[in-house]
Structure 1
Amino acid sequence: MKQYVWTRAVTLCAVAALAGGVTTGVAAAADAPQAPVVTSTQYPDDDNWHEGVGSYGTFVIDSASDDVVSYRYSWLGGATQTLRAAEPGAPVSLRWMPEKRGVTYLQVQAVNAAGTFSSRITYYVKVSDGRTAITHWDPDSQSGATTGSGVTFGASGPSGTSVASAASFDGTDEAYANLDSTTDTAQTFSVDAWVRPDATGADATVVGQAGFSLGATAGSGWSFTLPTADGGTTRLTGGAPEKGEWAHLVGVYDGEVDTARLYVNGTLTGTATGVVAAGGTDALRIGDHWDGQLTDVNVWDRVFVPGEITDVATRKAQRLGYWDLESATDGQSPANAGGAPLTLAGDASIYAATDDCPWNPDCTPVTYPIVGSGDLLLDGDGDYATTPTALAPTDAGFSVTTKVRIDPDTATRDMTVLSQPGERTDLFTLRYLAASRTWQATVAHEDRADAPTTTVDARYDVGSSAGDEFLAVVYDERTDQLRLYVDDTYPSATASVTGADTWTPTGDLQIGRGTAGEYLTGEVDELHTYAGVLSQTQLAMLQAGGVDIT
């Protein structure tokens, strides 16, 4: 295997060559100004790591030539821009904020009044992670907070995150936690929290002080409010609080560019420019009259950047079970990771077939299992399999994927691939509809016989190999969507589930039959179930034969 070692000098030469400029040390035009010098207190070019993401630094750019009128500069991957000197020969200052950790560089050329460029210099910066929050509160780390009697502890935090616990606030005058904070909200700051309302429709503060309020505004949704220096108020709103659902809220005030932003569940929902915050430095008020759960409050004296927000707001799917259906012993096919075994019923069996075609030209080829050396074979006459490992959603949703083989040319009746019963109805069913040659996923929003449902339909993929189909169903509470995937990692069909909920079923997960029978004639393989939402990348991993999403 060849190994490549990139040195700083080699990288510099390559970058300069690609940029079409002149590198330091190469002769410039006789009348060219001297190359600029860059200095920065916050981000010196000294081969050390410096804080960090979300924090501004100043770069002073100067040339010894007294006829320089401007400087052309660009950051790695960015467009070339120009800074003009206040007078010939004067230095210029550049303010810059890194949005990700790593090594980057600034390239600069001086330009004189005749329009002649100096040689290009490259200034390297090693950016570390951003500073940690200067104020933090959660039920396990209260940081000296004073808590009212309307706050109780012991609730669980949002699933799929690193936040283990939450506090419950009862919405009364005693539903608060007061916490000292050194944040000057007239300057750049960011604030975030995880919240789960038990009631909606009223004004409520998640966290605030004299200089800001992050919470909910009646009739408008989630909100980030800033009193301004001119005596006015800037309020950003976005997203819709839903009872019983966790949401991640972030308010950012960037005093460098006088801009405020609101993020809900990792998505930018509101921006205001020209905002000069009035600020304040008094104590934080957490959960003032909040009715619901609340946890993981943080305040930073810097910009919490989009990449960080996405990472924190993303709730990771948690595997419930995986069955590869390669074998069965005593009528049970084991779970490979998580979950109880699948119990085979009726004439259900694990189909395995081999031939000697690789070395025998006169062989009779067999039909191989969908994946690997075995799959679940069902004859449609009372065959099915079950497992007590139910498809149990979180408030983030659920995901299920499998591979199925049927013959649409001989399938003359509707058939059920998967169903998850509750006490009175099925939480979820995945079916094949013969008349229309479509796959159909249905979710019931309550466990009752006449519960409202949401359904999505997608055509059978006639181009699938040997009739094999990769099917995935994702119920996404964050985007309020039910998505059905057929042999692709882009949804084949989507339906809105805004305002609808899921519930925790009590029955065994069924493979190959539904509540009304509809036994499947075909084969099933590679069954994965998750609490939470699988991303497009994770679906692609499972479609390609991966055994997990990590």
Structure 2
Amino acid sequence: MGQHMWKRAATVGTAALLAVGGTGGVAAAEADAAPEAPVVTSTEYPDDGNWHDGVGNYGTFVIDSPSDDVVAYRYAWLGGPTRTLTPPEPGAPVSLRWMPQKEGVTYLQVQAVDSAGHISARVTHYAKVQDGRAAVTHWDPDSPSGAVTGPGVTLGAPGPSGTTVASAASFDGTDEAYASLGTSADLSRTFSVDAWVRPDHLDGSTTAVSHSGFSLGAGGSAYFFELPNPDGGDTIRVTGGAPEEGEWAHLTGVYDAEQKTASLYVDGVSVGTVVGAVAPGGTGALRLGADGEGGHWHGLLTDVNVWDRVFVPGEITSAATRRAQRLGYWDLESATEGKSPAYAGGAPLTLGGDASIYAAADDCPWNPDCAPVTYPMVGNGDLLLDGDGDYATTPTALTPTDAGFSVAAHVRLPEDVPARNMTVLSQPGEHTDLFTLRYVAASGTWQAVVAHQDRADAPTTTVSAPLDPNAPEGDQFLAVVYDESTDQLRLYAGDTYAADAAGVTGLDTWAPTGDLQVGRSLAAGGGTDHLAGEVDDVHTYAGVLTTAQLAALRGGGTDA
């Protein structure tokens, strides 16, 4: 009798032998019995109560039941579907490869299935996964790396706004524009590489980061991640995204030796994967700004990292995120000497015309005969404008970064809406408005218009949305977002999903010189399109607000 059969028979016991009577009874009992529960072991992620490495690192789980007639193992990870592994022969163990995508405690549940279809008890193997290993190579102009830098590289440029990367280096596109440093990553095995890049010229194919085992850069109309073919065949090339001169992008290339895939991410989004990839590996230095074949980088480069593991999608998204920077916030709760204060930065709003802060006051909580009043949209006050020359203004201009801009406010129109166009917010430049958010009487819609340049005849892009007839107490939440990375203008009206969006081509980020206007547009002869209604909680940002931040502002909260 084999070892597995002996272990299984031993569990039947004397009582079972007496109950079924003799050896024939033993056989019948075994035929009806479930297989013994499997045992799960892992070197990388043992169930020992300790934390183990880590996100982006594969581990092996060996699953084995003492029963020798097991023909399948059913398994499922926490929150995942149930799958099946088949051993090469009945009773043999199986191996499962797994890579954690996030830090924390998870578990693997396994059951054995025998040839008769009996299923064993469920076994749970806990794995405590710690954060992924740090990059084995890092370079930016402010960190000591031992890099050898050519004379075509100039330090001291600003890094991408909305990130923690403070500085960048400028590469002039010549043979002398390079930086070289060593890396300990074995590029014949799984590895990842990322960098912030800003091409200033896109003539031909230019390489931002390279090694004998890969290249990462821009090829004119698309970014690329390349792996030389170890057999001398065609280069493995993944492309995607749309490079623009003077615009930052975050690039990540991932080679997964387990899955034999090469993947490229642009600004945190997967743009392509090649299956069947085999990296040639290779030794030698990491080169920044050049590939050794004339593809010299002309632009800015910073925050280059190489990992000896998979940099997982969640990490990539986080690394590529450019957080919006608040420029001004006016809650419009009060005004002193005609000025409503700003919070968390920014100058106060100066009230013009007969503009005032409206605060409702009634005795309804204790007087059943009270006259109900309309309460402010957010908090205890809002800005009241009569449409006849009222407005507010602040020198804290809405100044975009190369990531774009966002602006949001609550607006309430009177029951008898005037039959004319009215401006909610506008940001003048020297010759035209960077943006205008307004009510259009002819269509009864909200409309946002963005000018591509600071010229009186500049081309514009427009998005629009209907008024929300079901808005509580008439409170219309409006937000305008221009996303430079996607070249998209979005208008939000009462929801966290854009009510309208439009692609924008040819828009150069430009800094307006005028004061932000609330309740009017500013023309050469003074204000126009004055708003009749109420405005509350005005927010301005450099950069792009997330849907979660927009939801918080819509609810009367802050972006935190």
TM-score (norm 2): 0.91
What are the equivalent positions in structure 2 for 1:273-422 lying under 5 Å apart?
Answer: 273-288=275-290, 289-407=296-414, 409-422=416-429
Measured in 2, the distance between the counterparts of 1:361 and 1:147 equals: 79
- Structure 1 letter corresponding to 2:559: I
Query: How far apart are residue 116 of structure 1 and its match?
Result: 2.2
Measured in 2, the distance between the counterparts of 1:509 and 1:483 equals: 20
What are the equivalent positions in structure 2 for 1:183-202 lying under 5 Å apart?
Answer: 183-202=185-204
Residues 427, 502 of structure 1: 8 Å contact kept: no
What are the equivalent positions in structure 2 for 1:25-424 lying under 5 Å apart?
Answer: 31-219=33-221, 221-232=222-233, 233-288=235-290, 289-407=296-414, 409-424=416-431
- Structure 2 letter corresponding to 1:49: W
- Structure 2 letter corresponding to 1:174: E
- Structure 1 letter corresponding to 2:330: W
Query: How far apart are residue 236 of structure 1 and its match?
Result: 0.6
**Which one has a bigger Cα radius of gyration?**
2
Measured in 1, the distance between the counterparts of 2:506 and 2:86 equals: 54
| Runs of at least 5 residues in structure 2 that lack an aligned partner in the other structure | 1-28, 291-295
Measured in 2, the distance between the counterparts of 1:257 and 1:361 equals: 72
Instruction: Provide the identity percentage.
Output: 72
Measured in 2, the distance between the counterparts of 1:395 and 1:57 equals: 41
Structure 2 residue 550 is matched with structure 1 residue 539: yes
Measured in 1, the distance between the counterparts of 2:447 and 2:355 equals: 23
Residues 202, 219 of structure 2: 8 Å contact kept: no
**Secondary structure of the equivalent of 2:550?**
helix
* Alpha-carbon distance change, 274 to 245 in structure 1, aligned in 2, over 3 angstroms: same
Measured in 1, the distance between the counterparts of 2:176 and 2:70 equals: 64
Residues 136, 142 of structure 1: 8 Å contact kept: no
Q: Deviations over 1:71-124 (max 9, x none)?
A: 221111112222222223222111110001111111112222333222211100
**Secondary structure of the equivalent of 1:398?**
strand
- Structure 1 letter corresponding to 2:543: G
- Structure 2 letter corresponding to 1:205: T
Q: Deviations over 1:18-58 (max 9, x none)?
A: xxxxxxxxx99853222211111111100000010000011
* Alpha-carbon distance change, 499 to 53 in structure 1, aligned in 2, over 3 angstroms: farther
Range 284-293 or range 124-133, more displaced: 284-293
**Secondary structure of the equivalent of 2:255?**
strand
- Structure 2 letter corresponding to 1:97: M
Query: How far apart are residue 408 of structure 1 and its match?
Result: 6.0
Measured in 2, the distance between the counterparts of 1:488 and 1:31 equals: 58
| Runs of at least 5 residues in structure 1 that lack an aligned partner in the other structure | 1-26
Residue 468 of structure 1 corresponds to which residue in structure 2?
475
Residues 453, 507 of structure 2: 8 Å contact kept: no
Give the aligned CA root-mean-square deviation in angstroms: 1.5
Measured in 2, the distance between the counterparts of 1:188 and 1:393 equals: 39
Measured in 2, the distance between the counterparts of 1:471 and 1:408 equals: 18
Query: How far apart are residue 502 of structure 1 and its match?
Result: 2.3
Measured in 2, the distance between the counterparts of 1:67 and 1:374 equals: 76
Residue 518 of structure 1 corresponds to which residue in structure 2?
529
**Secondary structure of the equivalent of 1:515?**
strand
Measured in 2, the distance between the counterparts of 1:352 and 1:408 equals: 19
Residues 28, 119 of structure 1: 8 Å contact kept: no
**Secondary structure of the equivalent of 1:337?**
coil
Measured in 2, the distance between the counterparts of 1:136 and 1:256 equals: 24
Query: How far apart are residue 375 of structure 1 and its match?
Result: 1.1
* Alpha-carbon distance change, 520 to 539 in structure 1, aligned in 2, over 3 angstroms: same
* Alpha-carbon distance change, 367 to 109 in structure 1, aligned in 2, over 3 angstroms: closer
- Structure 2 letter corresponding to 1:452: P
Query: How far apart are residue 302 of structure 1 and its match?
Result: 0.4
**Secondary structure of the equivalent of 1:540?**
helix
Query: How far apart are residue 520 of structure 1 and its match?
Result: 1.1
Measured in 1, the distance between the counterparts of 2:269 and 2:117 equals: 44
* Alpha-carbon distance change, 353 to 77 in structure 1, aligned in 2, over 3 angstroms: closer
Query: How far apart are residue 285 of structure 1 and its match?
Result: 0.7
- Structure 1 letter corresponding to 2:34: A
**Secondary structure of the equivalent of 1:103?**
strand
Residues 452, 506 of structure 2: 8 Å contact kept: no
Measured in 2, the distance between the counterparts of 1:33 and 1:410 equals: 76
Residues 55, 102 of structure 2: 8 Å contact kept: yes
- Structure 2 letter corresponding to 1:534: L
Measured in 2, the distance between the counterparts of 1:32 and 1:403 equals: 65
Residues 103, 124 of structure 1: 8 Å contact kept: yes
**Secondary structure of the equivalent of 2:52?**
coil
**Secondary structure of the equivalent of 1:539?**
helix
Q: Deviations over 1:301-348 (max 9, x none)?
A: 100000111111111111111101111111111002211101111211
Residue 456 of structure 2 corresponds to which residue in structure 1?
449
Partner of residue 500 from structure 1, selected from 498, 507, 527: 507
Residues 220, 243 of structure 2: 8 Å contact kept: no
Measured in 2, the distance between the counterparts of 1:225 and 1:280 equals: 14
Measured in 2, the distance between the counterparts of 1:338 and 1:109 equals: 59
Measured in 2, the distance between the counterparts of 1:140 and 1:67 equals: 62
Range 447-456 or range 83-92, more displaced: 83-92
Residues 77, 109 of structure 2: 8 Å contact kept: yes
Measured in 2, the distance between the counterparts of 1:538 and 1:142 equals: 36
- Structure 2 letter corresponding to 1:524: V
**Secondary structure of the equivalent of 2:521?**
coil
- Structure 2 letter corresponding to 1:378: L
Q: Deviations over 1:134-175 (max 9, x none)?
A: 011000114101001111111111111111111111111111
